[in-house]
Amino acid sequence: MSSLKPVRGTHDLMPADVARHRMVTDTAERVSGLYAYEEISTPIFESTQVFSRTLGDTSDVVTKEMYTFTDKGNETITLRPENTASVMRAYMSNGLQRQIPCRFFYRGPMFRYERPQKGRQRQFHQIGIECIGIPDALADVEVIATGAHILKELGVLERTTLEINTLGDTESRNAYRTKLIEYFTRYENDLSHDSKERLTRNPMRILDSKDEGDRKIVADAPEMADVMNDTSREFFDKVLEHLNILGIKYQLNPRLVRGLDYYCHTAFEFVTTELGAQGAVMAGGRYDGLIEHMGGPATPGVGWAAGVERLAMMIDEPQSGTHPISIVPVGEDAFQAAYKLADQLRQVNYSIDFSITGNMKKRMKRANNVGSVAALMLGEDELARDVVTVRNMETGEQTEVALSSIEEHLACYK
């Protein structure tokens, strides 16, 4: 047996896993389409600047987790750790500024070098949406509603909690930043190493620290509401008002933040208690400064991303949409005719399992193992009379059917 194994932090998706992933991604694609989102697909690697400029020099993703390498053309390339920056790059590269608003849905693998844990691997998969070009608070509501609708269709919405906060506009964020620096400076000696480094560069990220000592200090830190201006308050009130109109339940979380400067106003997460410490299954917010930060014109945007693996762990096992029919040749003389029949039925969209080798007993055993709904037995006797014996695998009942009408007879098994 080979000793070769998947690289740490990666795993193979077996057919049952693929079925769960497809259930998540196909549901997300279908539901987001109801809100006029169109699918976009970006390369899995980009110029490193796409991420280093957008994720921030102090973020763990940039400093610790990115898979970055120099290619043969001496360009620095990074496997995408997230897709929002890639979608914004695609938006600018393809000259879509004249087409706003743009609504994009995406799905695909992402890569981060971090400690593997439940539902989180070094190669993982995400779904997400980005709404570009609408500054109104109702775009934030639409994005949240799309996410809630997807979670509802997957049967997990009631097992999650929507946590929401406001990051305010630039004026409010700057005032809040000053307040946080003043507060945390008093406890600088007690902060973790990472939080000390963030104190002056990115103090809002201290609010999201997982260090127990930091969390005790954060408990009494100022809140955005203490410094928020009227514009920011009105924006957030409109978001909450329309969530109430739609009947989307939420919980205010004043410690929910996004540390980078281009984030503003709404930040939210759908969280669960079913997946251990890492409870967020979908997270997003407004990023009005992102495209400008990447060198484009000032453009509003809001979106979210969700982990496919984490959602797949929460959903019921999908019912297989495929009901195979087994074809069992009886004797060598019938093999070619059975093989031809298999191809004939596949051409008209029947799922056919055809065992190339084995005696009749083994072939019938396989028909049971693969969950076939019917077995078509074809031997010398059937060939002589131009018929096929059809066994209903659920009831055991057998019927002789003329080969000329087999397609119509099998319609009841679809």
**Do 330 and 294 share a structural domain?**
no
CATH label of the domain that carries residue 392: 3.40.50.800
Assess if residue 190 is contained within a domain: no
The pLDDT value given to residue 63: 58
**Do 250 and 113 share a structural domain?**
yes
Q: How confident is the model at residue 293 (pLDDT cuts 50, 70, 90)?
A: confident
The pLDDT value given to residue 143: 97
**Do 120 and 53 share a structural domain?**
yes
**Do 67 and 112 share a structural domain?**
yes
Assess if residue 300 is contained within a domain: yes
The pLDDT value given to residue 250: 97
**Over the stretch 351-409, which tens digit does the pLDDT of each residue have?**
989 877 777 788 888 888 888 889 899 988 888 899 999 999 888 899 999 999 999 99
Greater model confidence, 142 or 262: 142
DSSP annotation of 319 reads: P
- Last-in-domain residue among 293, 314, 335: 314
**Over the stretch 347-358, which tens digit does the pLDDT of each residue have?**
998 898 987 777
**Over the stretch 60-104, which tens digit does the pLDDT of each residue have?**
565 568 888 888 889 899 999 999 999 999 999 999 988 999 999
Assess if residue 218 is contained within a domain: no
The pLDDT value given to residue 259: 64
23-32, 341-350, 366-375: segment of lowest average pLDDT: 366-375
Q: How confident is the model at residue 411 (pLDDT cuts 50, 70, 90)?
A: confident
Backbone angles phi, psi at 306, to 5 degrees: -140, 145
What is the rounded average pLDDT for all residues in the chain?
Answer: 89
**Do 273 and 380 share a structural domain?**
no
- Last-in-domain residue among 314, 335, 355: 314
**Do 340 and 278 share a structural domain?**
no
**Do 409 and 362 share a structural domain?**
yes
- Last-in-domain residue among 266, 286, 314: 314
**Do 93 and 141 share a structural domain?**
yes
Q: Crossing angle, helix 48-55 and helix 84-93, to 10 degrees?
A: 120
Q: Which of 220, 252, 221, 218 is nearest to 236 (CA)?
A: 252
CATH label of the domain that carries residue 245: 3.30.930.10
Domain tally for the chain?
2
Q: How confident is the model at residue 12 (pLDDT cuts 50, 70, 90)?
A: confident
**Do 357 and 235 share a structural domain?**
no
> Distance from CA of residue 107 to its chain's centroid?
6
> Distance from CA of residue 26 to its chain's centroid?
10
Q: 362 is in which domain, residue-wise?
A: 325-413
The pLDDT value given to residue 61: 60
Assess if residue 134 is contained within a domain: yes
Assess if residue 181 is contained within a domain: no
**Do 149 and 27 share a structural domain?**
yes
What is d(CA 79, CA 69) in angstroms, rounded to the nearest whole number?
9
Q: Please, is 145 exposed, middle or buried when counting C-beta atoms within 10 Å of its C-beta (0-12, 13-18, 19+)? A: middle
**Do 382 and 296 share a structural domain?**
no
Average pLDDT over residues 197-211: 83
Assess if residue 254 is contained within a domain: yes
Assess if residue 189 is contained within a domain: no
Is residue 134 over pLDDT 90? yes
371: left (phi over 0), alpha (psi -120 to 50) or beta: left
Q: Which residues contact 298 (CB under 8 A, 6 or more apart)?
A: 288, 289, 291, 292
Torsion over CA of 138, 139, 142 and 143, rounded to 10 degrees? Answer: -140
**Over the stretch 177-203, which tens digit does the pLDDT of each residue have?**
899 999 999 988 888 988 888 888 888
**Do 403 and 284 share a structural domain?**
no
